Each structure stands twice: as structure tokens, then as C-alpha cells.
Amino acid sequence: MSELLEQQREHFENISDKYFEARKDVNHLYLKELMWRHFFKDKTALKEKSLAVLEPMCGYSEGKKILEENLGQVASYEGFDYSSVLVEKVNKIHPDLNVYVHDVSTFTSDKKFDVIIIIGGLHHVPSICGQVVKNLKQNLKSNGAFIVLEPTHNNYVFRKIRERIYNKNTLFDQETERAFVLKDLNNLFLENGYKIVDQMYPGLLSYILFYNPDAFPWLNFGGKGLVRLLFKLDTLFFRNFVGRKLSFATLSMFTVD
């Protein structure tokens, strides 16, 4: 494992308890429920399959639950993370899950999966994310889905705001984390032979207020009614130029032939 990866692993292990507890927040969970439901509502082809799923950089393995709630049966699941602390916690909570310690930069497997899902993982390994995307291509079935949620920005002002947050907020490690310019994120996949199936821009007002309660607890006010109202307003911009320009995150689905 490289020095930067080791630094990022240690950082996340140091904040893992705070992260885990904050992500139990009712508003946060409700926003995620709405966001993923909206994204998957037209993915009928995936809903007709019994899915084989790989979740690299799985953290607390939330990808499995998200897919089960929105697509149906997950026939098999495999997840890995470079943090032994996180994997140990997952194994205690879900002892039946196939989750193990592994470095994404050295992952190899002969298995093919219907879905590969990475939730906020690539921006933690910016120096090798191109290599990661390239290597995982061999594990995705033809016409399978590579689903990625990552922090992005598409204008100068928002980039500077995020850089300041990364520098000032101890929940982030500015030396090892880097959000993507959306064009750069897309090129990681396009240059390695993937195609864009769908992109949604959920990083708008409801996301800003409720998605990161561990980092910004003072923004987490109101209840589920407010979450629902703001989310409904945000949906007007989820797949247009305004949303693309203003969103702090992008939810993507890529595929290969």
C-alpha cells in the first residue's frame, strides 16, 4: 500500500466511529432513501436479474442494502475495504456477508459481476483512481452496471468552497482526498472503454443540508417533511444543465459492451 493510501486508511479509521454514528441520523437516511429510489426507478433491466454484486472500498457495505431495497434480489455479494477496523465492524453487524480486507490498487479476480458499486470511494484514492477503474473493467459483465457516487464540482466557485472545507474540516484529509471535476470523472471511465448510461446530479440543497451530518451537523435541521420538500425541488434539476453546474455530487451508471 502506498504512503498516501496508508495515510487515508489511518485517517478514516480515526473518524470511523463518528462517521458511523452520524450516518444513523433520520434525515440523512431518509434523503438517501429518496435519492437512490429516484435514481433506480427506471432501471428495469437490473430489476429483472438476480444480481452478482461487487463493492470495492465498501466501507460499511451500504451498497448491498441500497441495491436490495431498489432492485430486488442480490444473489451474491462480495465487498472489500483497506480498513481492517471497518471490515471488523461489518463482520460483527453482518456476519453472513462476504466482506474482507483488501487494497483496491492490487485487487484481481476472475469473477464477473452484474453490478459494481462504489459509493464515495474513488475520491479517496485520486492518485490511482484511473488504475482502479481500468482494473475493475475486467470484472464487469457485458452490459453490466458500474454505479458510482462521487463528490464533483462543475464551476470555479464551488471548487474553491470545497477546497476550503477540505482544508478546514477535520473530517476530511485534504492531502489524500480530492473531489472531481465532472469531466475528469467521466474521462476516467470513457478513456478506459466504458459508456455512460445515466447521470444524476443530486448534490443540491437537500444534499448540502442532510447528506454529511458528521461533517456539518449545524446544517442538519428540520425533519423528514423538510427533507422531502427540498428533495422534490432538487429533482427539477437532477438531469439538466443547471443541476450539472450547481451539484456537489454526481451519481453515475457506466457500462461496457
Q: Which helix (H) or strand (E) holds 209?
A: helix 205-210
Q: Cα–Cα distance between 32 and 29 in angstroms, integer?
A: 5
pLDDT (0 to 100) of residue 171:
53
Instruction: For residue 161, give the amino acid letter.
Output: I
Q: Is the dihedral of CA 243, 245, 250, 255 positive or negative?
A: positive
- Domains along the chain with CATH numbers: 3-255 (3.40.50.150)
Q: Cα–Cα distance between 103 and 56 in angstroms, integer?
A: 9
pLDDT (0 to 100) of residue 218:
77
pTM of the model as a whole: 0.90
Average pLDDT per 10 consecutive residues for the chain, totaling 257 residues: 63 61 83 98 92 95 96 94 89 94 93 97 89 97 98 86 64 63 96 98 96 79 96 98 96 98
Length in residues, the chain? 257
Note the pLDDT tens digit of each residue in 197-227: 999 999 999 999 999 877 677 788 899 999 9
Q: Cα–Cα distance between 164 and 151 in angstroms, integer?
A: 15
